[in-house]
Structure 1
Amino acid sequence: MIDIEAKSEALSSALERHLGVKGKSLAQQVKRAGHRLPRRLRAQAQLVAEADALRGNPRLLRQLGHERVVQAFSDVSAHLAGIDRAEARRGRILSILAAIAFNLILLFTALVVIGRLRGAI
């Protein structure tokens, strides 16, 4: 039998470390992670969270399937291990700066066109 509690704790700490998602339970963390996880991996993380919630009831836990839970845990863990939080932050900052630069170029262009039409330039 798999150690669900250890796997859920490991996944919880990985979500917090790599995505910055905090929560009282693994299910809440998965919900807060939202679209930062791909759809398939979000479903697999939810499966591990369900297994964590059902760990007190072995009959219901068996319905989830031992292999499915282990595979889901390994897939989500592998994906999270590849995420660099600092690189993601840099990407978001560069995206914001690019949008600001584009808007400034549009504003400058609009001012030049208006100036030309009025004959000021």
Structure 2
Amino acid sequence: MREIETQLPALREALETHLGVKGRSLAQQIKRAGRRLPRRLRVQAGMLAQAEAAAGNPRLLRQLDEARLTRALDALSAYLAGIDRAEARRTRMISIAAVIAFNLILLFTAVVVLLRLRGVI
């Protein structure tokens, strides 16, 4: 159980580095990450947040399933390691540019149709 306690700060740092999510606790970081984490990983991260909260009490800590927490920690760490923040930013900017371009094409088409109906063209 000690290894999980030592790996939780690294997980919190990975959440901040890869998703840009800050918080006073792991639970707060997970809440702020929201849908940027897949549902399955949000559930597993919730278990890890409970483990972080129980870390101060040895009796509560013994009640947690260490193998399950280790699997959750590994899965979440692997997912976060695969995220490239710069690539996500680039993709978001390209997506915004595509939406703007599409809207401009629709506007131009509507203006041409309106001018055609009025007989100007």
Do the two structures share a fold, i.e. TM-score over 0.5?
Answer: yes
- For residues 64 and 109 of structure 1, the distance between their equivalents in structure 2, rounded to whole angstroms, comes to 61
Sequence identity (%):
67
Structure 1 residues 39-48 or 59-68, which shifts more? 59-68
- For residues 34 and 64 of structure 1, the distance between their equivalents in structure 2, rounded to whole angstroms, comes to 24
- For residues 41 and 113 of structure 1, the distance between their equivalents in structure 2, rounded to whole angstroms, comes to 49
Aligned to 2:53: 53
What pairs with 1:59-70 in structure 2 (closer than 5 Å)? 59-70=59-70
- For residues 82 and 75 of structure 1, the distance between their equivalents in structure 2, rounded to whole angstroms, comes to 11
Q: Which runs of 5+ in 2 are unaligned?
A: none
Aligned to 1:111: 111
- For residues 60 and 6 of structure 2, the distance between their equivalents in structure 1, rounded to whole angstroms, comes to 19
Structure 1 residues 97-106 or 56-65, which shifts more? 56-65
Q: Is the 8 A contact 1:4 1:55 kept in 2?
A: no
Aligned to 2:99: 99
**Count of residue correspondences:** 121
- Give the structure-2-normalised TM-score: 0.95
- For residues 64 and 40 of structure 1, the distance between their equivalents in structure 2, rounded to whole angstroms, comes to 19
Q: Which consecutive segments of 4 or more residues in structure 1 shift more than 4 A? A: none
Aligned to 1:36: 36
Residue 62 (structure 1) shift: 2.2
Structure 1 residues 89-98 or 2-11, which shifts more? 2-11
Residue 31 (structure 1) shift: 0.5
Residue 4 (structure 1) shift: 3.5
Task: Give the 3-state SS of the residue equivalent to 2:2 in structure 1.
Answer: coil
Task: Give the 3-state SS of the residue equivalent to 1:64 in structure 2.
Answer: coil
- For residues 110 and 14 of structure 1, the distance between their equivalents in structure 2, rounded to whole angstroms, comes to 47
Q: Which runs of 5+ in 1 are unaligned?
A: none
- Give the structure-1-normalised TM-score: 0.95
Deviations, residues 76-117 of structure 1 (Å, cap 9, x unaligned): 000000000000001111111100000000000000000000
Task: Give the 3-state SS of the residue equivalent to 1:78 in structure 2.
Answer: helix
